Structure 1
Amino acid sequence: MTLPSPLTGVVPPVCTPLTPDNEVDVASLERLVDHLLDGGVDGLFVLGSSSEAAYLPDGHRKVVVDRVVRYVGGQVPVLAGAIDMTALRVLDHVRAAADAGADGVVVTAPFYTRTHPAEVARHFRLVADRGALPVFAYDLPVSVHTKLDADLVLDLAAEGVLAGLKDSSGDDGGLRRVVLGAHARALPSFAVLTGSELTVDSALAMGADGVVPGLGNVDPHGYVRLYRAALAGDWARARAEQERLCALYRMVAVGDPLRMGASSSGLGAFKAALHLRGVIDCPLTAVPQVPLSGAETEQVGKHLAAAGLL
């Protein structure tokens, strides 16, 4: 389908259901897509952080993009993460996404290598020039150790290099600079999307175009209600929905930090919630992440029940 310009609304980063032997569970993936579309989402983002893209071999990535694009059949736009260390490796993923029929790609700054802002800019220009798909910059300094500068993002947007920004930096001031700068420079086709589950109402109030919430896998209806309330200017309803989702988000901390990292806990909680809700068959996270215990999964269930989802 033609990518909306700008892309707006709720675009969840789709979890990747796995079988017990760490293969892609295609049937569960399709049920998850149905669950998200039934929730009224405006697009899908496969192979992002919540999709466990960093853990998936290229063969798994290809299966995910191919099957989701085919299954969605143009009902909503599908963005694909093309996340890798440097430009030529990223371009391999962009070509695979284009071959599958994805509508755009999401790309971080280079990582592992030590990069200069000039190299970051060149990276995005090369991907946009050679990749033949709209490029959304993914600001994720916690993982790639480079914070995308607001002026750099806006310059690349003005050049037509970037179609949008997914801001998962945690820097609300930087997000505000991008939003205000996009308005000041008259960049109406450039989408600014927050990746924070917890501050969607404030991001939308400052002028962001939408949200890419990992928790949206678990409760797409809630994020769609939040977005639509904000769009209608009903900020009291938007705030109430945001506060309910903030309480639900506490599930990401159920894992014991003495035996697992934040990714195992957070992604494990999302998948446990989807399993408890009957959406996916297996809550397994990709190796070497540590699975939740029975007691930790029970805590996820309590969060779901408190939010009216179980």
Structure 2
Amino acid sequence: MKTAPGRTADRHPFGRALCAMITPFTEAGALDLDGARRLAARLVDEGCDGLVLNGTTGESPTTTDREKAALIRAVREAVGDRAALVAGVGTAATRHTVELALAAEQAGADAVLVATPYYSRPPQDAVEAHFRTVADASGLPLMLYDVPARTGTRIEPDTLLRLAGHPGIVALKDCSNDFLTAQKLLSRTDLALYAGCDEHNLALYALGAAGYISTVANLAPAPLRAVLDAFDAGESARAARLQQRATELIESTMASGLPGTVTVKALLGALGLPAGPVRAPLLPAAPARTEELLAAYERLTAPAASAVR
């Protein structure tokens, strides 16, 4: 059984720069474990402290429970102890979520990421009970995932404040777009808060967040990591310029009308990196969109961009 990271002693229980990793598939649509190993190793080599597996970006709604466990084991083999592995286990059913959390623990994950149950739109007392049940059932620390745009139900601020008192609930991935609640949590709790929207990476980090969980990091892990490094070095103006520099790729990837999984896989494929197709009901990006993504990527990663002062 793994020990939960210290909540007050460690502001960054799973590192600072985490990537919400895609799940590579073969051209036939099968799980590509070799590709996952290669992609995970690249992400860690280029600055990721942690990897979130089987999340939304990892196409968790269309992968099987067996595939989820196999992915965790393969990535652990590839990165060893060089990165924290956070396993997405959120489902619409509490029992199934518990089963996935226990399977993730056995497969070698360091923590679990649990989204609010979707579709049934449970009231807040049921939301709270769901998270407490999962946290009590697993030996892994739990990261809450507040993403109401996808689940249809947010974790209300008062619910978050109560859940922060549970010893097994140590972090929050915040996709609520609610900066006031983020500040309340940072000031009133020991929760490690991770930005879940790339455009918020620096803003929340400057307020005291632990770091980010980034979809765009699949594409440009080093430029995003550089933002946090600059801020930690006391170079806040340079950090702002680096964050601004990444805006075009962030927008192209996350705000172009396509899911981030689709845009990331399109660009990774264009770069010759492990990705493969998306699974239905998602459809691949059009060639013209892939060209736009590639152009934005090349502008961000050009030598002149990396030399921003």
Aligned to 1:141: 148
Instruction: Provide the identity percentage.
Output: 28
Contact 1:124–1:161 (Cα < 8 Å) also in 2: no
Structure 1 segment 210-225 matched on structure 2, within 5 A: 210-225=211-226
Q: Residue by residue, what CA displacement relative to the aligned partner does 1:60-103 show, whole Å, maximum 9, x if unpaired?
A: 21221121123221222111000111211101100110110111
Cα distance in 2 for partners of 1:253, 1:46 equals 18
Contact 1:193–1:208 (Cα < 8 Å) also in 2: yes
Aligned to 1:55: 62
Cα distance in 2 for partners of 1:253, 1:131 equals 32
Aligned to 1:299: 292
Shift of 1:3: 5.6
Q: Residue by residue, what CA displacement relative to the aligned partner does 1:15-62 show, whole Å, maximum 9, x if unpaired?
A: 111112211111221111111111121111101111111222223212
Classify the secondary structure of the residue corresponding to 1:212.
strand
Task: Describe the shift of the 1:164–1:287 C-alpha distance in structure 2 as closer, same or farther (beyond 3 A).
Answer: same
Report whether the alignment pairs 1:278 with 2:272: yes
Report whether the alignment pairs 1:252 with 2:245: no
Classify the secondary structure of the residue corresponding to 1:23.
coil
Aligned to 2:306: none
Aligned to 2:232: 231
Amino acid aligned to 1:240: R
Classify the secondary structure of the residue corresponding to 1:307.
helix
**More divergent stretch after superposition (2-11 vs 286-295):** 2-11
Classify the secondary structure of the residue corresponding to 2:224.
helix
Contact 1:82–1:93 (Cα < 8 Å) also in 2: yes
Aligned to 1:46: 53
- In structure 2, the gaps of 5 or more residues are 304-309
Aligned to 1:74: 81
Cα distance in 1 for partners of 2:31, 2:78 equals 15
Classify the secondary structure of the residue corresponding to 2:20.
coil
Contact 2:91–2:97 (Cα < 8 Å) also in 1: yes
Aligned to 1:167: 174
Amino acid aligned to 2:158: D
Aligned to 1:240: 241
Amino acid aligned to 1:202: A
Shift of 1:141: 0.4
Cα distance in 2 for partners of 1:3, 1:247 equals 37
What is the CA RMSD across the aligned residues, in angstroms? Answer: 1.9
Amino acid aligned to 2:245: R
Shift of 1:309: 5.6
Shift of 1:2: 5.8
Contact 2:54–2:89 (Cα < 8 Å) also in 1: yes
Task: Describe the shift of the 1:159–1:27 C-alpha distance in structure 2 as closer, same or farther (beyond 3 A).
Answer: closer
Contact 2:38–2:78 (Cα < 8 Å) also in 1: no
Shift of 1:214: 0.4
Amino acid aligned to 2:53: V
Cα distance in 2 for partners of 1:159, 1:71 equals 32
Q: Residue by residue, what CA displacement relative to the aligned partner does 1:155-196 show, whole Å, maximum 9, x if unpaired?
A: 2122314111000112222222211222xxxx2xx3111101
Report whether the alignment pairs 1:36 with 2:43: yes
- In structure 1, the gaps of 5 or more residues are none
Amino acid aligned to 1:101: G
Amino acid aligned to 2:297: L
Cα distance in 2 for partners of 1:296, 1:73 equals 35
Task: Describe the shift of the 1:4–1:131 C-alpha distance in structure 2 as closer, same or farther (beyond 3 A).
Answer: closer
Contact 2:146–2:175 (Cα < 8 Å) also in 1: yes
User: What is the number of residues matched between the two proteins?
Assistant: 296
Aligned to 2:114: 107
Cα distance in 2 for partners of 1:274, 1:137 equals 28
Cα distance in 1 for partners of 2:159, 2:275 equals 43
**More divergent stretch after superposition (246-255 vs 214-223):** 246-255
Aligned to 2:105: 98
